[in-house]
Amino acid sequence: MKKIIAALLALPLALGLFGCSGGSENNADADVAYEDSLSILTATWDALDDSVRFPAFGGDFENAVSDAPGVHSLEAVDSLTGTFGVPASLTTQVEDVATIMHAMNGNTLTAVALHLSEGVDVDAAIDDIKAELSGRQWICGSPDKFVIAKVPGNYLVVVFGVHDVAGPFVDTMSAHVMGCEIVVDEPLA
């Protein structure tokens, strides 16, 4: 039974393989240190209004969780690069990763939080992520936009999806993740 449930949770992730602006008064304390990437996505997910919440799962194939963000293994590099758009060069420069995506189609909403290793050039990492997502061959429709946010403690959060799902997710993150600063908010053509 456990294998069947795991397979059912992994199916949308497999299908997904194919297929924070500065200035909120709630995020003014830039000295907040988050415990890990999961705590950032959890803060966003927990604050997301029920009217815009969507069926979701987080983690990776081995650590999938339903209707919540989850920890993504650093060893699952193919998933990080293929599903979540993390450049291969960046996968060795992170301490921990958390993910959440829409259960029906990752192009509707996918979010990945990366805790970058100390000494990583954050601006270069942002440029690499922008290049990866902008140059990507999308299957099963293209997301409308992508957003990259910096969070104190050497975190980046990448969100891509359709406007009516990604927009409220990013707005919630901006309002509820302390020190969140949206550094990229661009359409995907």
Q: How far is CA 35 from CA 41, 58, 92, in A?
A: 11, 18, 20
Mean pLDDT of 96-102: 96
Return the residue matching tokens 């829409």.
102
Residue type, 93: Q
Asked if 44 contacts 54 with a C-beta cutoff of 8 angstroms, the reply is no
- Output 125 or 134, whichever has higher pLDDT: 125
pTM of the entire structure? Answer: 0.83
Instruction: Assign 19 to helix, strand or coil.
Output: coil
Pairing mode of beta strands 65-66, 70-72: unpaired
Where does the pLDDT of residue 141 fall: very low under 50, low under 70, confident under 90, or very high at 90 and above? confident
- Give me the residue spans of the domains in the chain: 2-187
Task: Give the model's confidence band at 11: pLDDT under 50 very low, under 70 low, under 90 confident, else very high.
Answer: very low
For residue 27, name the pLDDT band (cuts at 50, 70, 90).
very low
pLDDT single digits (tens) 28-46: 444 557 999 999 999 999 9
